[in-house]
Every structure is written in C-alpha cells, then in structure tokens.
Amino acid sequence: MRFRIGIVMLTLAALITAACSAATSTTSTTTGRAAVTSTIAAAGQTETTVLQTTTSTAAPITTTSTTTTIAPLTDTFLVAGRTCMLGWSDGPSGNWSNDGAPPVAGGEEYQVVRLDEPITNAFGTDPQPWCEPLDLLNIQFDPPLAGDFQELDAIAVQTSSDVRPYPIDFLSNRDTTYVEATANLLAGKVAAVPIINNTQVIRTDLEGDGILEVIVAASTVPDGFMDTAPGAYSILYLRKVIEGDVQTAILGESIISSFDDLPQNIIVYEVAAVADLNGDGTMEIVVNGRVWEGAFLEAWEYVNDDLGPVKVLSCGCGL
C-alpha cells in the first residue's frame, strides 16, 4: 500500500462687484449699480441723496468627490459544522489550523455543503461559546445548518471559491464490487460472517486528475447504541486505482467484538461532505462520526498517491 497517510472639496468663490462712486447727474446707470437721485429743496439748498443698490454674481459651486472602493473580504477558509468548528486554512498553501483565535469577526458569508445536495449560503456570527462544559467555540449561522445533533452534519466553508469543482456521484449501496470490498476488509476482524451493509458509496475525482476515487461507508450499528450486539461494525474507506492496482485507505473503523466494547466504544462513521475546503482545487473528505452521547468531525486531505489521505483537522462535542 502506497498510502502513508465632498472628500468633498467645496470651493465657493463669491465675486461681488459694487461700484460705489457718487453720481453727479440727476440719473445715471453704471455696470453693477443703479443710482437714483432725489432732490430736496430746503433753505435755498439742494440736497442730493444717492441711493445705491448693488447686485452681485456668485461663481458656480464646483464639487469634486472621490469614491472609495472597499476591497472584498479575504477568504478565511474557516470550516464549521453544526457539531463543532473544525478550523481554518491560510488558503491553497495548505497550512491548516484550529489553534488560536478564529480569523472571523462575524457577518462573513459561507457556502454550505452537504453530500450531493445543492450548495447554499449562510451568514456566520463571530465565534460563540459552544459545547458546555467543554468551553469550545463555534459559529452560529443564519439560516441555521440542517439537521440535529448526532445527525449527518452540514459543512460551512467561508470562501467565495468553488467548493465543489468536480462532480459527486452516489452509487448503489448494493453494487457488488463494493459489497465484496467491504467483506474483504472485515474478513478476520469480525468473529461471525458479517452482514454487509454499505450505507454510502460515493464516486468522485478528488484531485481533478481524471482518476476516480470511491469512498465507502458501511455499518451494522443500530440507531440506538444500546441495541448494538457483538459483531457489529462501522467502517469508512477510500479506494483508488494507482498504476493499475486498487489501493485502499481506511479513514475510520469500529468493530464491536464483545460486550465489553459497549456502548462507550461504538463509533459510526459517515461522510458529511466532499468539498474543497482551502481553495487549492483538491476536494477534502469531511467525516462525521457519532459516539455515545457525542459527535465529531474530521477533514481528510488527499496529499498524493504516496501519502494518500491525511487527517488535517478534527473537532468534537459530547459528554
């Protein structure tokens, strides 16, 4: 096996022109001034009063404005589900983290991915206290993410890039190729001959290299964990043909061999989403796990044909 894992400038110019010279004639007219002469006879003298009116012409107001363009928000690639907040990436360079302050302030828009359902959008809050008494943080969404606790999660990714660059197809759970593949993986691990119950068979091209991968989930664990009997199992694996050989990587496995394993050690693995979480053009696999009174998420990145899928992020919530 090859997997190793305005500025408003307001210029106001008021130009006022007024002519203030005295009139010597009975009636005179000058530019910008009207002079009216009245003669009053008193004590043999003539008194001349010049009444002046002034007109002014204001220059037109010239306004210069500048427009400030707000740059679009940078993608933070924060990834969160209803279960918990997985973490974030600094983008296609592939550096993943869930340590420190989450790189969001609230109001960011996310793309919401769940299996092969249509991609939707939601707005997220700033990080909120989550999963008491564990004192974790998570994002609340509007509209809320689908489902309920311990149900198959929806995954929100804070990015404007294409989170599903390649198609995702669901094959029949009874496809004999993958029924046999599951049986071969369980051989020798389960005491009795197991019932093969594939619950998800997902075919896609994670890297866009033209070579398809198939992700298979299988489980015989009932919804009520307390009803689980020895011999029950849950397994999740990825298959890919590399240089003509089928290679298999197990992403999760839980096998109940005795009553001593019940119920705390039961884990049910499923795929919540297959999506590009960091904008590098390769889709990651988001695993949703259910445990006794809890749930968790894991993000697996397909690195290359030598390392195969590598777990890059994880989170959980439960008692």
Clarify whether residues 35 and 180 are in a common domain. no
Identify whether 2 is part of a domain.
Answer: no
Same domain, 166 and 222: yes
pLDDT at 133: 86
pLDDT, tens digit (0-9, with 9 covering 90-100), for 126-185: 999 999 888 899 999 999 998 888 889 999 999 999 999 999 999 999 999 999 999 999
**What does the pLDDT look like over 236-282, one tens digit per residue?**
999 999 999 999 999 999 998 777 766 677 899 999 999 999 999 99
Q: Is the pTM of this model over 0.75?
A: yes
Which helix (H) or strand (E) covers residue 179, if one does? Answer: helix 176-186
Q: Lowest mean pLDDT of 60-74, 76-90, 114-128, 173-187, name the range.
A: 60-74
Whole-number Cα distances in Å, 257 to 183, 204, 262: 16, 33, 9
Whether residues 25 and 123 share a domain: the answer is no
Residue 168: closest CA among 274, 299, 300: 274
DSSP 225: G
153 and 246 both lie in a single domain: yes
In a domain, 201, yes or no: yes
Residue 282 neighbours by CB under 8 Å, 6+ apart: 206, 207, 208, 276, 301, 302
Query: Are 59 and 84 within one domain?
Result: no
Percentage of the chain modeled with pLDDT above 70: 76
Count of C-beta atoms within a 10 Å radius of residue 31? 7
Asked if residue 131 and residue 46 are part of one domain, the reply reads no
Report the domain count for the chain. 2
Task: Please give the Cα distance from 140 to 132 (Å, whole number).
Answer: 15
Say how far residue 108 (Cα) sits from the centre of its chain.
7
Q: Which CA distances in Å does 96 have to 9, 39, 92, 185?
A: 48, 98, 10, 31
Q: Is 60 exceeded by the pLDDT of residue 33?
A: no
- Greater confidence (150 vs 106) lies with 106
Full domain range(s) for residue 29 = 11-64
Average pLDDT over residues 223-238: 87
Instruction: Check residue 111 and report its DSSP letter.
Output: E
Q: Examine the domain organization and report whether 51 and 172 are in the same domain.
A: no
Count of residues making up the chain: 319
What is the tens place of the pLDDT at every residue in 188-206?
Answer: 888 777 899 999 999 999 9
* Residue at 74 is within a domain: no
